[in-house]
Amino acid sequence: MTRANQADLQQQRIAYLGAVAASLSHEINNVLATVGELSGLIGDLADGAAPDARAALERFSSIGEKIERHVDRGKGYVASLNRFAHSMDRPRTAFDAGESVAAVVAVCERFARLRKLTLRLERGAAGPELRGSPYDFEHLVFRAIAAGLAAVEGGGEVTVVLSPAHTGAVLEITADGQPVADAEQETRLALVERLGLELGADVGLGAEPPAVLRVRLALPEDLGSPEAERSS
Amino acid sequence: MDRCAVLVVDDELEFQEALVERLRHRGFEAASAADGEGALAQLEQRPFDVVLLDVGLPGIGGIETLERIKRAHPTIQVLMLSGHADVKLAVRGMDLGAFDYLVKPVPIEELVYRIEDAFQTKRLAESVPDED
């Protein structure tokens, strides 16, 4: 790989972190705004001195439940943010690929919602376990899902399937719906291919009717190891 | 003085519902929509004075919604609501005719003040006869 390509890849790695942090902080802000309005509403209702005290108590209780739900939602985003920050701690470690993919899917749900797409994840209860950089793996998953989300018009569906394989894992991302003509898509797919090859994956990209796009990544158990690089 | 009719456009359902109720509590007529398409449909059906428009909407997005609102209803005043990440977009909204922008979460007193300000501006604009 040329120095220019390496610099570009490094830039993409940093941009990915920025995208994750921005998305999660946006969601946290939404949670805070909603909790702020709900707690303000409690104050308004209390000021209004409802003549029917029982009805007022029921409203307070219902609003309290909503606040609790949003606090839990906020805690989930903070945990995700913390998890992503720590995914860079060790360049090589054993990790649960299923948990990693689920975390990336959770981040991408906002992007799917903004495009009015459905994003689905299918995976087993745990694993498969891979070794390597969780950060680089999650970056690859993020870029592959982003390509899937960019491939179809609103109303479409993007499915992420993670399955264990004999020597590692297979990740498939399928986009179904009305195709989008997007000049940037070629660049997105080229990045997915580069990142996949860096980790020693076999990369399959393309339309497979009726799917508008299918990304297939056959990942070795040992991501980006010299053995994996030799066999790719 | 007529009551100010406010349309809250935000895809965070419980934020939107709570805000609508709080605005009604303060004497505004308030309704809501979850996206730009829904907002445009409501504006075709009944008049509103002020639109509180989230920048990061699903579908056509806040900026395109703003452009369409200002094209079809030039005197309606639009207050953009944004998260920290969307402030640049909200500022762009000002160039496209938004009355102002506010960063969420917004204290209700500040929001009410801006809505009333926007309402006065709309009334003033409507009271000035066209030059042609």
Average pLDDT over residues A43-59: 74
Q: ipTM value, please give it.
A: 0.80
- A36–B14 C-beta distance less than 8 A: no
Question: Is residue A9 very low, low, confident or very high in pLDDT (cuts 50, 70, 90)?
Answer: confident
When CB atoms are compared, the residue of B15, B22, B106 closest to A34 is B15
B57 at interface of A, judged by CB pairs closer than 8 A: yes
- B12–A33 C-beta distance less than 8 A: yes
Which of A227, A83, A208, A219 lies closest to A162 in space, CA to CA?
Answer: A219
Convert the pLDDT of each residue in B1-24 to its tens digit. Answer: 589 999 999 999 999 999 999 999
B105 at interface of A, judged by CB pairs closer than 8 A: yes
Question: Is residue A160 very low, low, confident or very high in pLDDT (cuts 50, 70, 90)?
Answer: very high
pLDDT at A184 > cutoff 70: yes
Q: What are phi and psi of B39, to 5 degrees?
A: -65, -45
A29 at interface of B, judged by CB pairs closer than 8 A: yes
B27 at interface of A, judged by CB pairs closer than 8 A: no
DSSP track, chain A: --HHHHHHHHHHHHHHHHHHHHHHHHHHHHHHHHHHHHHHHHHHHHHHT-S-HHHHHHHHHHHHHHHHHHHHHHHHHHHHHHHHHHTTS-SSEEEEHHHHHHHHHHHHHHHHHHTT-EEEEE--SS--EEEE-HHHHHHHHHHHHHHHHHHB-TT-EEEEEEEEETTEEEEEEEEESSB---TTHHHHHHHHHHHHHHTT-EEEEEEETTEEEEEEEEEESBTT-HHHHHH-
- What per-residue confidence (pLDDT) applies to B24? 94
pLDDT at A4 > cutoff 80: no
Mutate to test the interface with A, among B8, B10, B23, B25 (most CBs of A within 10 A): B25
Q: What are phi and psi of B98, to 5 degrees?
A: -65, 150
Query: Structure pTM?
Result: 0.80
Structure tokens at B28: 């505004």
- Residue B101's Cβ-count burial label (10 Å; 0-12, 13-18, 19+) is buried
Strand B50-54 versus strand B5-9 pairing type? parallel
- What per-residue confidence (pLDDT) applies to A5? 76
A41 at interface of B, judged by CB pairs closer than 8 A: yes
When CB atoms are compared, the residue of B18, B19, B83 closest to A30 is B83
A37 at interface of B, judged by CB pairs closer than 8 A: yes
- A113–B59 C-beta distance less than 8 A: no
Average pLDDT over residues B72-93: 87
- Lowest mean pLDDT: which of A41-55, A154-168, A181-195, B105-119? A41-55
Chain B nearest-CA distance from A199, in A, is 32
pLDDT at B111 > cutoff 50: yes
Most confident stretch, A60-74, A97-111, A123-137: A97-111
